[in-house]
Copies of this chain bind each other. A is one copy, B any other.
Amino acid sequence: MSTIADVAARAGVSKATASRALSGRGYVSESTRQRVADAADELAYVAHSSATSLATGRTQTVGVIMPPVDRWYFSELLAGIQESLFALDYELALYGIREGSETRERLFDTVLPGRRFDGIIAVGIQPSAQELERLHRSERPLVSVGPYSEGSSAVSIDDVAAARIATEHLIELGHTDIAFVGGSSDPDDLSFGDAQRVEGYLEALAAAGLEAIARIADARPTMPGGYAAAVELLGDRRGRPTALVGVCDEAAIGAMIAARRLGIAVPTELSIVGVDDHQHAEMFALTTIKQSPREQGHEAVRLLRQQIDHPDSPRERTVTASALVVRSSTAGRR
């Protein structure tokens, strides 16, 4: 591998001039710029990123901390972040995080401070006060996706509103027995956004004076999770709700499949609404609240770059809109 000294020697100039010629900063005559460029080409020279970042203090790398990407939302979000970063010539260092593991500790204590990332994107993470302090002390821009904490930029969907809108849709259709699929008795099991959705569901019920009928079924936010919970919920013919809100589309689809197997017609006997507008929602004709995680990824990068380029610019919070998409999994109560 050739170094800039090799390039300089070949072009007959000093390292300083070669560096200026290649970066385009500072005075270099057109003819030598060309000579240096040719020399670099011939040697297939590519700057050593560690050397560059040591000299400049910028790593051109963004650290991304997120839960396992096995849910559609996260994989889409990651894709969005990836696209934007690649376009801006930033590298993406990925850290998976399992809630409550000691890996988390190591991450915040050693890894993040050691790698001098130009910025950090934290997805669905509610950092502890101590962790937040460590992050802020490092003075590096931080954008969080999902939870919002004072002092850093954030992009979030209004999960409360999303679930509220979904629930209101059912109420408007005349339903008075509406269950929620995808809560959890153990709040640690619930990601931040999911907890907010439970709240939105409860809010809508309360606003309609229906708080007494609230029923929250424990379920992981996955298709099998929704399936299992719905089997239980719908098994009792008598006490069965006439409508369901899924914590996410996966859970809602799982519930829909369970209903079909139990011979319960959707939407005539049971209305179902989800949240996300998952790629499968259309195929199941699922009424849902549309989110665009990919665009949220783009937005997160935009906010981060804003802070990297203008460290003194104020922190921003983007709340992306949620729109009801009515398909045919919901109908008026008979």
Q: Which residues of A contact B (CB under 8 A)?
A: 1, 44, 46-51, 53-54, 59, 61, 68-70, 72, 75-76, 78-79, 82-83, 86, 91-96, 103, 110-111, 113-116, 138, 222-224, 227, 254, 257, 260, 279-280, 282-283
* Residue in contact with A46 in the complex, picked from B110, B222, B283, CB distance below 8 Å: B110
Report the bound CA distance from A68 to B76 in whole Å: 9
User: What would be 27 A-B contacts, judged by CB atoms less than 8 Å apart?
Assistant: A1-B113, A46-B113, A46-B114, A47-B114, A49-B50, A51-B54, A68-B75, A68-B79, A69-B79, A70-B72, A70-B75, A75-B75, A82-B95, A82-B96, A83-B96, A86-B95, A91-B115, A92-B93, A92-B95, A93-B93, A93-B94, A222-B279, A223-B283, A224-B282, A224-B283, A257-B283, A260-B260
Complex CA distance for A59 and B116, rounded to whole angstroms: 13
Contact status of A50 and B279, CB under 8 A, knowing A86-B103, A92-B93, A95-B86: no
The CA-CA distance from A159 to B113 in the complex, in Å, is: 42
Q: Which residues of B contact A69 (CB under 8 A)?
A: 69, 75, 78-79
Q: Which residue of the partner chain B has the closest CB to A59?
A: B50
Q: Which chain B residue has the least Cβ–Cβ distance from A91? A: B93
Q: Is the CB of B116 within 8 A of A94?
A: no
Q: Is the CB–CB distance between B79 and A96 below 8 Å?
A: yes
Is there an interface contact between A92 and B94, defined as CB atoms closer than 8 Å? yes
CA distance A110 to B48 in the complex (A): 11
Besides A46-B114, A70-B279, A79-B96, 16 more A-B contacts (Cβ < 8 Å) are A1-B138, A48-B116, A50-B50, A50-B53, A51-B54, A68-B75, A69-B75, A69-B79, A82-B96, A86-B96, A92-B93, A92-B94, A93-B93, A223-B280, A227-B283, A260-B260
